[in-house]
Chains A and B, each alone.
Chain A
Amino acid sequence: MSTVITGIGAVTPNGLGAEEFWKATLAGQNAVKELTGFDVSKYPSRLAGQITDYEAKAHLPSRLLPQTDVSTRYALTAAAWALENAGVTEETLPDYDMGTVTSNALGGFEFTHQEFNKLWSKGSEFVSVYESFAWFYAVNTGQISIRHKLRGPSAALVGEQAGGLDAIGHARRTVRRGTKLVVSGGVDAAFDPWGWASQLAGGLVSTATDPKAAYLPFDERAAGYVPGEGGAILIAEDSASALERGAPQIYGEIAGYASTFDPKPGSGRAPGLRRAAELALADAGLEPSDIDVVFADAAGLPDKDREEAEALRAVFGVRGVAVTAPKALTGRMYAGGGPADLVAALLSIRDGVIPASGHSSRIPEEYGIDLVVGEPRTKPVGAALVLARGRWGFNSAVVVTRHSN
């Protein structure tokens, strides 16, 4: 029994909808621009991968607007698209056979910012009752399951920027435990002034002012990352059930998953990324030589890039596999980053093309990685490894393969 992906939905800075995201990603369309939601002229970092063409009213019923943060609106929209793409309606399966597992790292910053503003300026009785859940990491899982009447086993996972892949791993686990279909993935957004300040406080955000030079993973000029917003939702499904109901397509199989945690800093022990990759490969029953492309975590910080290059060399050998980092075009979408990479990986399998890594071009020789730069690379892809790291030690890896039946 295998778990396959039958539907994809993405809401990203360089495209609304999985196909739009993919087209923009292959075209190298850069979504990194100066943040426009408020005046950032006095902030040390001003560039972000912002979604600028999303009109909530066009995508969601008005009943959901007073109770949702922008991040939840993106999640609901991506979930609706993924379900539609998979040909799933409320009647497709019994409600208890469909679950929801999503990841979120930042919560509902903008909504909460507005309510805090009411709290200190007007008083507690002016704070929206919906604040009770609109801020919460689990709210996307809850809202998606309520809207689509998915009453099967559901969960919310938090693993900083690695959590989106953990959600996919847990979706597969949920399918293996007997739930036929799981709506899974991750979405984040925090571009209000409070959210922005919080992201900058982490100290890793690029202070560059040139959008083409702000987030350069694996490049010798790498000096920080650009935050993005959005993410992707995928439909994970028991393969037998997908075939039985006549799913319109199968993008691929979730063949392997693993997560590890870094050792305590100063312990002298190696970081956990290599182990996550090796465990995911073992879980998939694949050798490193079976992998056609790695979608890297691509931190965009010299020490973290070096660390990831080391892990890739250790697993695949020097320049042993094609590596790409299309998130350089969107910025890092936190819990949404891994699932968006997964969508790109599945479409690489479908279309036989690997997207390039944004504007990265000068890759230190000693990294020993075959980074796809400049133009997409045409190449048959049968298996892809997607990596994600989260701050304070999270490492997650997912292997997706072409589904043969």
Chain B
Amino acid sequence: MAQLGIDDLRRILIACAGEDDSIDLTGDILDISFEELGYDSLALMESTARIKQEYGIDLSDDAIGDVETPRALLELVNATEVPAA
């Protein structure tokens, strides 16, 4: 099982969708909603596509739709089985 940490997620979010200049992403953002962080549904789709490319973890669009915070996304990612190569 892959272990994706908050630093990995932070890097992916910034690479995929930039960062809101008014929000400090280096702080504790685990429980701040993606909406407050400035990431919309497209930003999350782009980020989950990147997670799949890098970690082989395929999240369904439906599951992502219910995810509201970085903590919830990390829990979902880390609970998802990587398909055997």
**A interface with B by C-beta (< 8 Å):** 61-67, 125-126, 128-130, 132
**B18 pairs with A130, CB closer than 8 A:** no
Contact among B20, B46, B53 for A130, CB-based, below 8 A: B46
Contact among B21, B46, B52 for A62, CB-based, below 8 A: B21
**B46 pairs with A125, CB closer than 8 A:** no
In the complex, chain B residues whose CB is within 8 Å of the CB of A129: 42, 45-46, 49
30 A-B pairs whose Cβ atoms sit less than 8 Å apart in the complex: A61-B18, A61-B20, A61-B21, A62-B14, A62-B18, A62-B19, A62-B21, A63-B18, A63-B19, A63-B20, A63-B21, A63-B38, A64-B18, A65-B18, A66-B15, A66-B16, A66-B17, A66-B46, A67-B17, A67-B42, A125-B49, A125-B52, A125-B53, A128-B46, A129-B42, A129-B45, A129-B46, A130-B42, A130-B46, A132-B42
Q: Tally inter-chain residue pairs, CB-CB below 8 A.
A: 35
In the complex, chain B residues whose CB is within 8 Å of the CB of A125: 49, 52-53
Q: Which 6 A-B pairs have the closest CB atoms?
A: A62-B18, A63-B18, A129-B46, A129-B45, A61-B21, A129-B42
How far, in angstroms, from A128 to B38 measured CA to CA in the complex? 18
Contact with A along B11-29 (1 / 0, CB 8 A): 0001111111100000000
How far, in angstroms, from A65 to B20 measured CA to CA in the complex? 11
Q: How far is the CB of B45 from chain A (nearest CB, A)?
A: 5
**B53 pairs with A63, CB closer than 8 A:** no
In the complex, chain A residues whose CB is within 8 Å of the CB of B42: 67, 129-130, 132
In the complex, chain A residues whose CB is within 8 Å of the CB of B46: 66, 128-130
How far, in angstroms, from A151 to B20 measured CA to CA in the complex? 22
Q: How far is the CB of A278 from chain B (nearest CB, A)?
A: 47
Q: How far is the CB of B13 from chain A (nearest CB, A)?
A: 10
